[in-house]
Structure 1
């Protein structure tokens, strides 16, 4: 059961990023993120209402709040990067950063000792990101391409904070930390809107798509938390971390995005690095 929950979580996460990325192609990514997280916040209240959950401990709520700050920055930058960069490149860059940075921070700051498998993944990530950043001439991309990659890296850092903080929420804390996380993510994104010159409104159909994507993202988070309670954490993480394959494959097949051979090699390397880090 735990494996099925984790795989369904990956499918939901991947579909969320693909749908939001489609909307972000025509509208500012930060506006899309605000709408998506608002939809996700509404859905996060459902398990609380259904289970009549008691308030969570303050420490758990604090970790939920920190994850919300990371989510707000991560999602806003991710969808903003999709404004100018190809989805098939932006998503893997942000995801491998989101997974790799906590591992590296644990080594440098917390004295963690990853397995040789995880260390191999970290070493593989660097050349993979370099290959992804190359254009068809063998040089780094133009200003727009470089900017989208930098924004994707910032998105990965924000998501890394999200994953780290959520991992600190105890299993018996209930669902209130998820609600706090979603509310804070909306607040962070709304604060970013004036700074990037983005509007708070989307046209009706775009707003509905973004809100549905955000709701699906919250469902993915809930499924992931359930999976960690039904299955070993390492297995749940590995299966849930497969989600970048969904938007990448959809971008290549449905949107007909084109990538160079070096970028294709980099994407394969990024996928391998992600799997190795997760397995480690």
Structure 2
């Protein structure tokens, strides 16, 4: 059940990334990022109120807030890298490094012990994510270095997001996700305030950004439920396969052509899923 929840989280995250990417072509990424977190907060609060929670300790709220700080940091630097036109660098760097940091933390700090099949799946996931994200094209010069820095900082945020959320006690229900969305909104508010003129958009566009954020919050809730049923190292890897979804949707919806490296990455991702599920 945990593996299925993590995979569903990846599908939701991937669909949200695809929709957010299309929206960012028409609306500045600052607007999409901030209103997305607002939408995520609204959805998380409603979901948390509907799901019974035995007790919410201060530590659960703190872990949730740290997770949200990671989310806000990851989205800011990921979108900054994307705004520079460096998708082929920042996406694979953030995805692969974020997974590696999360898995290493789970094994060495939390005592996770993946099976042999699971380790093989983890090792296969890293190059698969790199290939499916288009990471075979290295950046050059200053832009490449700046994009790599954006990707590395974003990956640290991704790792903090997953690790922090997994530390909240099951008795806290979904309130850690709500605490995280609140922390992300507060973290991104200064940047949004400085770019307030960017928010002069049609109401429909602003509403789409809110809906995208609500979808991301739902994906995080699915990950949280998966991490409570599955060791974090496995849940993180399965949930982090989301970059494959925009690639598949691009092929199916936008009729894009897959490169050979992306096809290899997709096949590798499928094999990794099988191994991780068996593990």
Same-fold status (TM-score > 0.5) = yes
Aligned position for 1:201: 199
Aligned position for 1:183: 182
How many Å apart are 1:48 and its aligned residue?
A: 2.7
**Residue correspondence of structure 1 range 56-95 to structure 2 within 5 A:** 56-85=56-85, 90-95=90-95
User: Is 2:225 the partner of 1:232?
Assistant: no
For the structure 1 residues 272 and 78, does the alpha-carbon distance in structure 2 shift closer, same or farther, using more than 3 Å as the test?
Answer: farther
Aligned position for 2:163: 164
Superposed CA offset, 1:244-270 (max 9, x none): 211122235544667866x64895698
Range 103-112 or range 157-166, more displaced: 103-112
**Residue correspondence of structure 1 range 114-129 to structure 2 within 5 A:** 118=119, 121=122, 125=126
Structure 2: runs of 5 or more not aligned: none
Q: Distance in 2 between matches of 1:86 and 1:259?
A: 18
Q: Distance in 2 between matches of 1:275 and 1:214?
A: 26
Superposed CA offset, 1:89-120 (max 9, x none): 64443222221113345677789877776489
Aligned position for 2:213: 214
**Residue correspondence of structure 1 range 1-280 to structure 2 within 5 A:** 2-51=2-51, 53=53, 56-85=56-85, 90-105=90-105, 118=119, 121=122, 125=126, 132-133=134-135, 135=137, 140-141=139-140, 143-144=142-143, 147-193=146-192, 199=197, 201=199, 203=201, 204-229=203-228, 231-233=229-231, 236-255=235-254, 264=262, 267=265, 271=269
Residues matched between the structures, number: 274
Range 198-207 or range 20-29, more displaced: 198-207
Q: Distance in 2 between matches of 1:66 and 1:73?
A: 11
Q: If the length of structure 2 is used for normalisation, what is the TM-score?
A: 0.76
Superposed CA offset, 1:156-209 (max 9, x none): 2101111111111111122221111000011111233467x5756152232222
Q: Distance in 2 between matches of 1:258 and 1:145?
A: 25
1:66 aligns to what SS in structure 2?
Answer: helix
CA contact 1:64–1:177 (8 Å) conserved in 2: yes
Q: If the length of structure 1 is used for normalisation, what is the TM-score?
A: 0.76
For the structure 1 residues 129 and 93, does the alpha-carbon distance in structure 2 shift closer, same or farther, using more than 3 Å as the test?
Answer: same
